[in-house]
Structure 1
Amino acid sequence: MTNLTRHVCALTPLPSEPGDRIELIPVGAFRLADKRGRTEMRLDGAEASSVIAASFAAATGGVLPIDFDHRSLAPQGTADSRAAGWITAMEVEGDRVFASVDWTAEGRQALEGRSYRFVSPVFKTRRDGRVALIEGAGLVNNPALPELRQLASKDEDMDPIETIAGLLGLAADAPDKIVERIEALCETETQMASIAEAAGVTGDDTVTQVCARLSAKPEVDPAKYVPLSTFAELQTQFASLQSTVAGDKAEAALQQARDAGKLTPGMEDWATQLASKDLGQFEAWAAAAPVLVNLGKPRVAGRPAPQKTEALDETERQVASLMGVDEDEFLATRNAAVKEH
């Protein structure tokens, strides 16, 4: 236990009728209200039991003293070091270490007469602020950690905040968390009220009624719904019908182009693919394409018969571009068709 620093700090206000069990020191991180408050101190929960055991092992007679104003810490013989009580046991409960105390007559009288209101633990810390040893306590009137609640000897004296915190499963010294939890509960209650109103349920068992509504199978009107298998079959038939209609339209457009002499046998595969994929684009091509096959029909007024040339005109180049055919290939096909006629 070398390199330890001793601390004394008033922590817990005591009632005028002290019980034999008091709060002694926090578990977890804490700071003192004086200049030492700049440094965080800590009694780790995992170490608390071993700290308690080590404290009693180091105590004379196996008990820890509670004196007046920490006078027993003064040089021997320079101050009244009478005990106000003796700590006979310590245990961790929640975020506190509780001490069982056997009060002396002087100690009990000092508390009942309100000469002293606070108990101040004496403990030693390591360099990192972790509590290593509890040496006892003293009755004082200058608290350095006043946030610990007063330990009452009767249940009716309990702080209502402590009761609320206990019901919520939270520590009483965490007001922000208490408020946050209560706000969340209020919000949940408001949402549940809105759900109950929308569902049209009332009474104390609204949650049960809403859950029953959600789990119930919906009533189905046979006149408004059909089986999924029937619907899927109808979808297949409709898709087949659409494909047939589209194929008929494409074939009609192809035949019209053949009849107009604009579609040569070498262009059949390309034209069929284009008409099947994009009928509108094929019809645009057919409208602009020149007559390549002389079917013995009268020429369209104002349009000369195709002639064998060494280059494509502007219209033919546009047709070749729409067809995605190389201009030289298009020219060769056109001239061969002209030569045949």
Structure 2
Amino acid sequence: MVRVMPAGEFSAPRGAFKGSGPWRLTPEAAASIIAINRSRSADILVDFEHQALLTESNGKPVPAAGWVDPRSLEWRGEGDEPGLYGAVTWVGDVPEMIEADRYRYLSPVFPYDTDGAPLDLLHIALTNFPGIDEPLYAALSARYRVHASGGAAASAHPHQEDSQMELLKKLLVALGLPEATSEADALAGVAALKTKADGAQAELAALKTQVDGATAEVAALKAGGGTPDPAKYVPIATFQAERDERLRLAALSGQSEVKGLVEAAIADGRLLEAQRAYAEDLGQVDLAALKGLIDSAAPLAALKGMQSQGREPGARQDAASDAQLAVCKALGLSADEFNKAKLGA
């Protein structure tokens, strides 16, 4: 940035094209100039030796020494050189000319009111015969525009350059970057931090929305009072009574199923009457075990038909057949127990 007009009161002790001052640039006047130029698209000309004012009289062309972006104008009220600043893009070899001390001063051209307040910035001259004392070292930004030449000119204002370098070092330290970081890398770091900060702000906004929603829900619950809706709840006694009834019915159902299985097994000869109590107790404890026992037992023909099986009454039937022995083994009975059961039947 280059200071194009000094702050406060200034004059043209060596004379100017029109008027000699004094003029006075206040923050208010600077703000008005900035507002006027903010809507302009054409850059502000920086010519050589005010040729833009002389071209009508001498007929010579008006080559550009540089251009000021009108939207870059800003007021700086602090520091060693307060005033109106703008971003200048120098043309051709002008940076080398300034570095070689072939040009030293800037001379702004501006209209002003009866109180000497500048009203606008029309153009600027690069000159060695300034109407006002506005040396280029006020903000010698040419050194930052010499990228095409591959070099950087030394500042004509060492104190200001040192201050700028110290500020740059502090910024690099704040970014966590080494002092040797290039301008492009530093700008990329700043852009990355901005992206990260924007993302954090979005997350905070989303979190705030969630917190606000939860707070609203809590407030609604508090406002609803402590009286529950009877339609949505039942007394604990009623709940327990219903639970106990369901358990009782389930137990009865299980008992009924066990009794049915045992009765069927006794009826078709797979179980003995003497085994009824054992089988029912087993079914109450482990229904699956009872079903397995009944499924593995073969029906006893002796329990389904005549006990004599056509034999004469009184004939001995102590001897057990192979089938009967298998039944005894499956039921866990001895042959004598089996025969007693038959005789008892």
Structure in which a larger fraction of residues adopt helix: 2
Question: Quick check: which has more Rg, 1 or 2?
Answer: 2
Q: TM-score, normalised by structure 1?
A: 0.36
Q: Could you state the TM-score of these two structures normalised by the residue count of structure 2?
A: 0.36
